[in-house]
Amino acid sequence: MKKIFWFLCFALAFSLVVSGAHSAIWYSQDFNSLPDGDMSGQDGWELITDLDADAASPTVQSAVVHGSSGKALKVEASQEIRRHFDPLHAGQQFLIIYFRKEDDSADNTLHIYLGKDVHAWPAGPVLRIGSQSGDPTQVGAHDGGTVYPVAPFVPGQWHQVRVAVDYDALSYNAYLDGDLIAEGFKFRDNAHDALGWLMIGFDAGVGVLGYYDDIIMGDGDGANVAAVDSEGKLATTWSALKQ
């Protein structure tokens, strides 16, 4: 009887978290169920070869992951991938993603780009982690056509990024490990007035080594989802239950 009581308490608490989130998750990827090897061709992800026709794909691997187990995406020089989403998503949308960059070299960056239906480099919200931020030790965010270094990152450590996008206002807020680092920043290109693709990786570099993990996307600002996920991988499990 006591076990049933505690189970009902847990179920009630979990349902309150979900109902209070105001964020409907429509995509998640923690890489755990994917085979090791090239990410291109898996789960709708495709390799970007605009600048390097011989570019190799980022790889799914289990040596370095966010959390105590599972898998993550490993990125090296000239490895960038994109995933399209159909239908387009407008209004209030969010992205949560974890990254780990192994160095603060002046040659290397990790990208997070959000765009609409046709791939174009300007994109809407754009984050640049590393050298292209203007400071190789910082995360940079685009405010219109200009990127500003807005917060330091720690090489070799996992960081959570949350991007809360207002496609009606063509602006976004960005958070690093829960702290607001960019508020009301404008899109790099206003033509990207809905969410249709995500691009991550880096299309150049020398000796680039970085990782991405636990991607979650949905309606709303994602604040409650990010708060739950800061304790582990519960948000990824939650999103799987919603699918």
Domains located in the chain, CATH noted: 23-242 (2.60.120.200)
pLDDT computed for residue 22 by the predictor: 62
pLDDT computed for residue 228 by the predictor: 65
Coil, helix or strand for 124?
A: coil
pLDDT computed for residue 41 by the predictor: 97
Residues of the chain with pLDDT under 70: 1-22, 228-243
pLDDT computed for residue 53 by the predictor: 78
Among candidate residues 238, 240, 243, the one with its CA nearest the CA of residue 15: 238
Tens digits of residue pLDDT in 179-215: 999 999 999 999 999 999 999 999 888 888 999 999 9
pLDDT computed for residue 203 by the predictor: 86
pLDDT computed for residue 229 by the predictor: 63
pTM of the model: 0.86
pLDDT computed for residue 150 by the predictor: 98
pLDDT computed for residue 135 by the predictor: 96
Residue 206's CB is within 10 A of a number of other CB atoms, namely 10
Give the Å distances, CA to CA, from 91 to 17, 88, 114, 193, 209: 23, 10, 14, 9, 34
